[in-house]
Chains A and B, each alone.
Chain A
Amino acid sequence: MSRIAARFAELKQAGRGALIPFVEAWDPDQATSMALLRGMPEAGADLIEIGVPFTDPMADGPTIQAAGKRALKAGATLARTLAMVGEFRREDSATPVILMGYLNPILSYGERRFCRDAAEIGVDGLIIVDLPSEEAGLLAGDAEQNGLDIIRLVAPTTDDARLPKVLNGSSGFVYYVSITGITGTRSASSEALAAAIPRVRRVTDLPIAIGFGVRSPEQAADAVRTADAAVVASALIETLAASLDEAGRARPDTVARVLEQVSSLAEGVRRARR
């Protein structure tokens, strides 16, 4: 069983949903993002999403754009993101790690080589924002061969006729983009989520994570009441960004402040009755 499937099975047993915090690789530097990654499981992360910096993140709002910019300035690359996962895996072999990013760095690395290297180093799943199901064939074979889950995005614009097509060939879990918009801008209402998630459930047995606009412990709790996991990204990056000094460097309390927020999000998720 894959790490992702195993983790969701455990959580089902425990009767609770998952918290999936996000960390942008190398934001604002390697050491800080590595410390965040290392500290997340203890702070209550059930799975972790690592953002792969890209110059043109077309689905991201200002917060993640700025994170990517800081990371690239610090020297982030796809290979260096993989190296972080390798370092993480020396201490943690259970927490699933998902890379989220855009297609071009992967094409540049080479699809086949990337899937092999990523799986070997301990990556469990991929979320590629600009790879819709129509184009997924580009990576599907190599990902499957290496046991990497391709996590598909479903949006409010994905209608019932289209859903099965989008979810065909997906694995790991389904990522429900809760708003029509970019990251870190607005949030969906609980009512909207309560209407949307059953629509997706009818088409898949995979766990469903809700992302885009999940910011507070209450919203995270809301998300896992209807779905199986909550992804929190921009809210954590805002905390990180606010902790930086004038030159954009991490301060001594940067890591602690972000992890503290992960803890309170985790509490929210754990308190949520299902």
Chain B
Amino acid sequence: MNKPIPNSLRNGPDGRGRFGEFGGRFVAETLMPLILEVEQAYLAARRDPAFQPELDRYLADYVGRPSPLWFAERLTRHLGGAKIYFKREELNHTGAHKINSCLGQILLARRMGKTRIIAETGAGQHGVAAATVCALFGLPCTVYMGATDVERQNPNVFRMKLLGAEVKPVTSGAATLKDAMNEALRDWVANVADTYYLIGTVAGPHPYPMMVRDFQSVIGEEARAQLHEVEGRLPDVAVACIGGGSNAMGLFHPFLDDQAVRLIGVEAAGRGLDTHEHAASLSRGRPGVLHGNRTYLLQDEDGQIQEAHSISAGLDYPGIGPEHSWLHEIGRVEYVAATDEEALAAFQLCTRTEGIIPALEPAHALAHVTKIAPGMPRDSILLMNLCGRGDKDIFTVAEHLGVKL
């Protein structure tokens, strides 16, 4: 957790949940008392000396942490530049980084005496992780998922159902992640007394962006220690993909005060940044308010939210966590984008050179790695968060490659 170091970039948010001008708590009054209760409960949990050790035990024995740091030697040779390390979050139980925050939050929900869990999901990775911890703790779980995503992420839908969760397809809007989040918020408003909303990313009203970041920071903390062990130093560059931004925030946050470490977030450029079919909120959006926080959003001139597009369901979101918006404005993190095509190429490259099938989400991060690694010195170090595995994506990839399964 944050130590109060003056001039640190890790002190945010302020008491009102702001990172600079971003963040906040823009929710209906019905939810406001509950949001404040979640904040109080989380702060109390952080102070409780028993909370973190219990979470650590679950992370070690249930998730399998620490996740390995893998030197991607063949990929490094192939690209001919920087030494590439993967932080292998895809080896976590349930196959992605999402479980880190789900465990933290379910322990919190239990402390709060909540007896029902709701969640939203895009790619289904967060939904699966939420359904998993609910099975583990014996709590009923309802997952809201855009109907479009239900279709393209069918394996994960079945997984959630096997785990005992109820999956509710959402048909409003473009029927993707944004709409799933609207519907989860509506459920929460109607069930405030017994329900905990387990948000999957570093967005939503305060304290969620802070809390999910804290739970995901284990990624960067571990990577930092692991790199120190094998290389004796910090990475030169750290790269992660960004939808809402939880895996990137988890990787970046422990490095924010190390000015020598270049941090790069990769948004989904979909069919291209100059088309209207992308999910690059920072590159092409502007600040506004959605889902409880002020942040960069894809929106039209009237402030109506635009649909995002990405081949990857997990990046298909027109907003981004507020702390990323702040890091963008102050210039600490660079935000770039990779297209569907570039991600598909990186997906195949990773599979063939490293024998690792990545999710389409981190394939976007890898696409950027393939652009910059060749131009970096051979003794430089590039750290990438391989935040999820690609089993769920093989149908989507097959379709794009024209293969019938």
Contact = CB atoms under 8 A, between A and B. Distances in A.
A complexed with B? yes
Interface of A: 54-61, 65, 72, 77-79, 102-109, 129-135, 152-159, 162, 166, 177, 180-182, 185
B292 interface: yes
A153 B29 contact: yes
A109 B189 contact: no
Given A105-B302, A108-B288, A134-B32, A157 B24 contact: no
A223 B290 CA distance: 32
Interface in B284-341: 287-292, 297, 299, 301-305
A104 B186 contact: no
Contacts of B189: 58-59, 180-182
B225 interface: no
B260 to A, nearest CB: 37
Closest 3 CB pairs of A and B: A108-B303, A105-B303, A155-B30
Output the residue of B34, B186, B192, B193 with the most chain A CB within 10 A.
B186
Given A56-B290, A59-B186, A65-B172, A77 B302 contact: yes
Contacts of A153: 28-30
B30 A108 contact: no
B303 A78 contact: yes
Nearest to A61: B186
6 contacts: A60-B186, A105-B302, A107-B289, A109-B302, A155-B30, A177-B30
A155 B186 CA distance: 15
Contacts of B289: 102-104, 107, 130
Contacts of B302: 77-79, 105, 108-109
Interface in B113-156: none
Interface in B1-53: 16, 24-34
A58 B25 contact: no
Interface of B: 16, 24-34, 172-173, 178, 182, 185-186, 189-193, 287-292, 297, 299, 301-305
Contacts of B191: 180
Contacts of B292: 130
Contact of A132 (B29, B301, B304): B29
A72 B172 CA distance: 14
B142 to A, nearest CB: 15
A108 B290 contact: no
Contact of A157 (B16, B25, B33, B186): B33
A181 to B, nearest CB: 4
A54 B26 CA distance: 15
Contacts of A133: 29, 32
Given A134-B16, A157-B192, A106 B303 contact: yes
Nearest to A162: B33
Contacts of A162: 33
Contacts of B34: 157
A181 B185 CA distance: 10
A60 B287 CA distance: 23
B178 A56 contact: yes
A132 B26 contact: yes
A177 B190 CA distance: 12
A58 B27 CA distance: 9
Contact of B29 (A61, A102, A177): A177
Contacts of A182: 186, 189-190
A47 B318 CA distance: 36
Given A104-B299, A107-B303, A182-B186, 13 more contacts: A54-B303, A55-B173, A58-B28, A58-B182, A59-B30, A59-B189, A103-B26, A108-B288, A130-B292, A133-B32, A153-B28, A157-B192, A180-B191
A55 B25 CA distance: 19
B299 A166 contact: no
A58 B204 CA distance: 12
A104 B288 contact: yes
Contacts of B192: 157, 180
A60 B27 CA distance: 13
A131 B297 CA distance: 18
B192 to A, nearest CB: 5
B126 to A, nearest CB: 19
Contact of A107 (B182, B190, B288): B288
A107 B27 CA distance: 15
A132 B303 contact: no
Contacts of A65: 172
A153 B292 CA distance: 16
A140 B103 CA distance: 40
B38 to A, nearest CB: 13
Output the residue of A78, A103, A104, A185 with the most chain B CB within 10 A.
A104
A131 B304 contact: no
A130 B27 contact: yes
A130 B28 contact: yes
Output the residue of A56, A108, A155 with the most chain B CB within 10 A.
A56
Nearest to A105: B303
